[in-house]
Amino acid sequence: VSIGFNLDPRLTSDTLPVSDLPISIVRLMNDARFPWVVLVPRRSGASEILDLSSEDRHQLFNEIVQVSSAVKMICTPKKLNVATIGNIVPQLHVHVVARNEGDAAWPRPVWGVGTAEPYTQADADAFVTSLKRALAAESSR
Amino acid sequence: VSIGFNLDPRLTSDTLPVSDLPISIVRLMNDARFPWVVLVPRRSGASEILDLSSEDRHQLFNEIVQVSSAVKMICTPKKLNVATIGNIVPQLHVHVVARNEGDAAWPRPVWGVGTAEPYTQADADAFVTSLKRALAAESSR
């Protein structure tokens, strides 16, 4: 818990909780069409990577790599898409999306494509459990 | 020049040369609708950030920050969009795009939206010159 930091309401409603890394809240986009993880650094008011201190920025980069490795390990995607966009939700957040040929947006990016298909509770629980395990494996390497 | 590294033909045709940073070739997307810079690490066969060594990865992150700062200084955008996608061009490349309300794709991401509008030679030269100057200023900080 970081005093004074509140997750953006849109991010809160679009995602499910996964875990906390040293700087980021890790959330799963509640959209079963794509394995899609979001990192949100707990830094109030940050909208760009440039808004972070150099130290925070490097920590965020390390966590992006850690999450990317975990998602790759779980999903073995054809391609990872990693991005910070934030045109609609200004709170700094980073997307890590596992992409495969034939997925609902391929080869286009996922943002703004179609409508999210929420996970079943069982599928969400299974993915979150896998992700936590993979993140723990990555952080212990 | 990095022996054995060749810029992807699609990236070559879609972009204009700007400069070389320690790990990345910096190119300007030839699309006057958006200030849009691309970094391509000179590492043959790399498709994901995870394919780079830890040292190369950190250098790339530093160069992403350097290019982001330079683009922000020149364009003072409402938002920077920073992404590595690569669903179509697998050679690892990172986009840094300056976005503003009312631009040709706002608030959507720029990828796959409409048709690129090539710069005039004078406008391309002016932007490349500004970018080189800003990159030099950033690297001397």
Q: How far apart are alpha carbons B90 and A8 in whole angstroms? A: 33
Q: Is B112 on the interface with A (CB under 8 A)?
A: yes
Q: Is cis: bond before A35, omega within 30 of 0?
A: no
Q: Is A88 on the interface with B (CB under 8 A)?
A: yes
CB contact under 8 A, B48 and A69: no
Mean pLDDT (whole number) for B13-26: 98
Sheet with B36-41, edge to edge strand ranges: A15-20, A24-29, A36-41, A94-99, A79-84, B79-84, B94-99, B36-41, B24-29, B15-20
Q: Is A73 on the interface with B (CB under 8 A)?
A: no
Torsion of CA A116, A118, A123, A126, to 10 degrees: 80
Instruction: Give me the residue label for tokens 């040293």.
Output: A22
Q: Which amino acid is at B32?
A: A
Nearest chain B alpha carbon to A87: B107
The predicted pLDDT at position B141 comes to 65
Q: How far apart are alpha carbons A71 and A66 in whole angstroms? A: 9
Q: Is a pLDDT exceeding 60 seen at residue B1?
A: no
**Chain A residues with beta carbon closer than 8 angstroms to that of B83:** 81-85, 109
Q: How far apart are alpha carbons B24 and B58 in whole angstroms? A: 12
For residue A26, the number of C-alpha atoms closer than 13 Å in the C-beta half-sphere is 26
Query: Closest approach of chain B CAs to the CA of A4, in angstroms?
Result: 23
Instruction: Give me the residue label for tokens 């890394």.
Output: A21
Q: What number of other Cβ atoms are within 10 A of residue A16's Cβ?
A: 16
CB contact under 8 A, A109 and B112: yes
Q: Is a pLDDT exceeding 70 seen at residue B3?
A: no
Q: Is B77 on the interface with A (CB under 8 A)?
A: no
CB-CB contact of B56 with A61 (8 Å): no
Question: pLDDT, tens digit, for every residue of B36-57?
Answer: 999 999 999 999 999 999 999 9
Question: pLDDT, tens digit, for every residue of A87-126?
Answer: 999 999 999 999 999 999 999 999 989 999 999 999 999 9
Residue B60: band (very low, low, confident or very high) from pLDDT cuts 50, 70, 90: very high
Residue A139: band (very low, low, confident or very high) from pLDDT cuts 50, 70, 90: confident
Mean pLDDT (whole number) for B19-40: 98
Query: Closest approach of chain B CAs to the CA of A21, in angstroms?
Result: 19
Tokens of A75: 């999903």
Torsion of CA B99, A61, A37, A15, to 10 degrees: -70
The predicted pLDDT at position A118 comes to 98
**Chain B residues with beta carbon closer than 8 angstroms to that of A88:** 107
Residue B63 is given by DSSP the state H
Q: Is A76 on the interface with B (CB under 8 A)?
A: no
Q: How far apart are alpha carbons B85 and A16 in whole angstroms? A: 23
Instruction: Give me the residue label for tokens 């590492």.
Output: B43
Nearest chain B alpha carbon to A102: B87
Query: Closest approach of chain B CAs to the CA of A70, in angstroms?
Result: 11
With a CB cutoff of 8 Å and minimum separation 6, the contacts of B10 are B88, B89
pLDDT > 90 in chain A, percent: 93
Nearest chain A alpha carbon to B105: A87
Q: Is a pLDDT exceeding 80 seen at residue B107?
A: yes
The closest alpha carbon to A118, from A38, A31, A35, A11, belongs to A31
Q: Is A7 on the interface with B (CB under 8 A)?
A: no
ipTM of the complex: 0.95
Q: How far apart are alpha carbons B22 and A8 in whole angstroms? A: 37
